[in-house]
Amino acid sequence: MEAYASKNGDAGIAKKLEHNKALLGKSVFFLLFLVQIILGKVGSFFADMVPYQIIDPYDCFVRNSVHHAVALVIAIMVIIVLSRLMKIDFYFGSGYINKGVRYLALFTAVFAVISVVVHVLMLAFGQLPTYDYPLDARNILGTLGFNLFLTGPAEEIIYRALPITLLICAFGKSITIKGNTTLEVILASLLFAFAHTKWSLNPFVFEANWFQVLYAFVLGSIQGIVYQRTKSILYPMLMHSFSNVLMVGTGYLFLA
């Protein structure tokens, strides 16, 4: 009888611990959501202070560059503090190089084909992208430079390295859903997808291009899996930047 009671007691404690971890995970998820909102607001604040009209009269790359650069610097500072206080690794090293290079090469090759196919279809249906700025050398180099050098580093650190690592700490372990897909990757991808919507509370407004939201979620999930598999944020950064450059650059080529 005592052994039975002890067994039930241990099961109750384990169940309570799991409940507490789930509650902590939800709290961290909400906190990450707030942090990402704050980073966006602070980035916009500093971007609005820059007299970008002199360099970029069509507002197509300077403001976005400042916004991402400011958010990136703050995120790195937060990660440095957390890594020292909590003794956790955000995988800023090179990780598994051979595996990372294979993933990067395969992703880039597949995405290059996808970019061409997408634009061929848009051309066939008369839906090629339009731009609010002339496609001159300054604007092309500026927008491609922004996508190549800032989108990957800023967004992968903010939406991949930071949330995935902190969610694993909150849950106490990585939680596998199926195959290489984990709960923390899915939650991080949801945050990334939501960042591609427009919303406000007062007045209440919610706007979303659902294709763009799904696109962000899928690519975010792929990059999150690569982050965990390679134990490095470097390869998701490059994948992110290359995919943006390929998609935007292909659009420019079709309109040239």
- Per-residue pLDDT tens over the stretch 224-255: 999 999 999 999 999 999 999 999 999 999 99
Q: And the tokens for 11?
A: 């099961």
Among left, alpha and beta (phi > 0; psi -120 to 50; other), residue 56 is beta
- What is the rounded CA–CA span in Å between residue 46 and residue 54? 16
pTM for the full predicted model:
0.92
pLDDT of 63 higher than 80: yes
DSSP 3-state of 34: helix
Q: Which residue has the higher pLDDT, 17 or 143?
A: 143
What's the distance, Cα to Cα, between the start and end of the chain in Å?
A: 82
Task: Judge whether 130 and 234 are in contact, CB under 8 Å.
Answer: no
Helix (H) or strand (E) segment spanning residue 176: strand 176-178
- Residue 12 pLDDT more than 80? no
Beta bridge partners of 74: none
Residue 181 has pLDDT above 80, yes or no: yes
Residue 178: strand pairing partners: 181
Q: What percent of the chain has pLDDT over 70?
A: 93
- Check whether the bond before 203 is cis (ω within 30° of 0): yes
pLDDT band at residue 21 under the 50/70/90 scheme: confident
Residue of 29, 40, 103 whose CA lies nearest to 71: 40
